[in-house]
Amino acid sequence: MSKKTTRQRAAEDKREGKSPSTRAGAFVREEIDHVRAGKHGARSAMQVIAIGLSKARRAGVALPPPKRATAAARKQAVQDAEVARTHDKPSRTRSRASRRALDSEGSAAASPMALSRHARAVARRKAAASQRPVAKKAKAASSRRPAAKKTNG
C-alpha cells in the first residue's frame, strides 16, 4: 500500500491536468525511497520502477499496460487497474510472499548509478525519430571514433 501523501500528490497532479505517467512518478519515487531505506530490496532498477507503476495502477492512476512487455506483465497491469476499480483487499499470503522475496534482494538497484544506467539504456533503445535534434546530435557524436571526436569536437 502506498503512503497517503503519495496518493494525495498524485491526486493533486491529476487536478492540475498532468499526464498519468507524471502522476505515477510519485509512486515510483516512493518505491525508490523504500529500497534505499532498506524497507525491501530489488533485483534491478527496472524492477523498482515496475513495482512503483504497479502501485500507481492499484491506486487508480490510469496508466496503460506496457507495450513492449511479456504477456504476463501486460496481464498483471490489467489486473492492477482492476484492483483500483473493485477496491479488493490485497491477499495477505501473496503480500507476505512477495515481501519475503524482495527482502532477500539488495538495495543497490535504487542507487543513483543503477537508475542512471537504466535511464541511459532506455534512451538508447528509443527510436532516433522520437528524439529532439540535440539528442540526435549527441547520440551521433558518441558513436563516432575517439579520433573523429577530437577533430570535430
The pLDDT of 21-42, averaged and rounded, is: 93
Give the separation between CA 77 and CA 75, rounded to whole angstroms.
Answer: 5
Q: What is the pLDDT of residue 112?
A: 94
pLDDT in tens, 81-133: 888 888 777 789 988 998 899 998 999 999 999 999 999 888 887 766 566 77
Q: Do residues 104 and 41 lie in contact, with contact meaning Cβ atoms separated by under 8 Å?
A: yes
pLDDT of residue 152: 57
Supply the pLDDT for residue 68. 81
pLDDT at 38 over 60: yes
Residues, the chain: 153
**DSSP letter for each residue of 3-51:** -HHHHHHHHHHHHTT--HHHHHHHHHHHHHHHHHHTSS--SSHHHHHHH
Least confident of 24-28, 40-44, 45-49, 132-136: 132-136
Give the pLDDT confidence score for residue 84 in this predicted structure: 84
Least confident of 9-23, 100-114, 119-133, 135-149: 135-149
Distance between CA atoms of residues 2 and 57, nearest Å: 11
**Confidence (pTM):** 0.74
Q: What is the pLDDT of residue 49?
A: 94
Query: For residue 36, what pLDDT band results from cuts at 50, 70 and 90?
Result: very high
- Calculate what percentage of the chain has a pLDDT beyond 70: 86
Mean of per-residue pLDDT scores for the chain? 85
Containing 84, the helix (H) or strand (E) segment is helix 71-86
Domain boundaries defined on the chain: 4-110
Residue 40 has pLDDT above 90, yes or no: yes
